[in-house]
Amino acid sequence: MVGSFLVACVVLIGDQGPIPAGCSKIAIEVGGQQVNVFTYKPENYKSGPMLMVFHGVDRNAEEYRNDAKGMGDRHAALVIAPEFDRKRFPGLKYHRGGLQKDTKSKSVSPREDWTWSLVPQIALEVRKREGRNDMPYYLIGHSAGGQFVGRLAGFVDSDASRILVANPSSYLFPSQAMEFPYGFGGLPTELSDEQRVRRYLAQPLTIYLGTADNERDADLDKSPEADQQGASRLERGRKVFETARQIAEEKGWDFRWTLVEAPDVGHDHRGMFDAPACDAALFGIKRIVDSK
């Protein structure tokens, strides 16, 4: 089984043409370094969107690509799963996006060194390979990947059509009372002022929660700062959404967040991807592509 799977996959490095049909692994140069990207192009793909999927703490991008194939098939979409390995992208560089150089001094890294900054570059490279500079793309991160894309929304202009934050252990709250990575506190003014928070609430962001993801398991952040957001992933997601909604309403700001829940799904990325609620979380009730 393993041997046949490896034969079915194609590995491409460097400047190549369109991404092959089926499963592939490509290596692309972005931000001065090589990033492995697992891809899936379904048979019904024609002019659909790109779904960029972000793995959890296990750094299992290939598994996430495989488990996202159903989404690709349903929406005739190109699935892209970048791999952020632990050696080059530890928690400071992945969960927290590389914004800070270290946890002690908390000094801010140059924007070009943020891991988040690689995301638009990956999208641009895929668009070039597909010959579609206007190809819409969607970000979907689960667990640690949810932390990554959720915080990305607060600091990076990605031009993603929607950013889906699924079951993360903690959130970037729209508050200066909580220090980063839990809020905007402790950051330079240009990264934490009212305009920054206002921009964050105007992002096309979906909080996507499994209603059974309510256990305090081994991977849950149980720090005092995280527990201030809620006792479980489910509670934290509902709380950050309601907090953001109230702030936007009080300030009269544009609010583009949505909250979508997958009934009876726990901390399971495959269950979240396959749930009917996932399509609503990404695209709403309207199908966005005709694959015929």
What is residue 148's predicted lDDT score, i.e. its pLDDT?
A: 98
Q: List the CATH number of the domain containing 73.
A: 3.40.50.1820
Q: Flag whether 290 is in a domain.
A: no
- pLDDT above 80 (res 25): yes
Model pTM score? 0.92
- Averaged pLDDT score across all residues of the chain: 92
Residue, of 260 and 289, whose pLDDT is higher:
260
Confidence of residue 130 (pLDDT cuts 50, 70, 90): very high
Question: pLDDT of 147-175, one tens digit each?
Answer: 999 999 999 999 999 999 999 999 999 99
- pLDDT above 80 (res 288): no
Confidence of residue 69 (pLDDT cuts 50, 70, 90): very high
Domains of the chain: total: 1
- pLDDT above 90 (res 5): no
Q: Flag whether 292 is in a domain.
A: no
Q: Flag whether 289 is in a domain.
A: no
Q: Flag whether 192 is in a domain.
A: yes
Distance CA(58)–CA(100), nearest Å, equals: 22
| Contact by Cβ (8 Å): 130, 78 | yes
**Percent of the chain that is helix, strand, coil (3-state, to 5):** 35, 20, 45
Q: Flag whether 225 is in a domain.
A: yes
- Average pLDDT, stretch 17-30? 94
Q: Is the peptide bond prior to 181 cis by the omega test (within 30 degrees of 0)?
A: yes
- pLDDT above 60 (res 115): yes
- Average pLDDT, stretch 106-113? 95
Question: pLDDT of 246-283, one tens digit each?
Answer: 999 999 999 999 999 999 999 999 999 999 999 999 99
Q: Flag whether 143 is in a domain.
A: yes
Confidence of residue 104 (pLDDT cuts 50, 70, 90): confident
Q: Pinpoint the alpha helices (H) of the chain.
A: 2-8, 61-67, 69-75, 118-130, 144-155, 194-201, 224-227, 233-251, 269-274, 276-283
Q: Which residue range forms the structural domain that includes residue 256?
A: 2-283
Q: Flag whether 116 is in a domain.
A: yes
Confidence of residue 17 (pLDDT cuts 50, 70, 90): confident
* DSSP conformation class of 156: -
- Would you put residue 51 in left (φ > 0), alpha (ψ -120 to 50) or beta? beta
Q: Flag whether 80 is in a domain.
A: yes
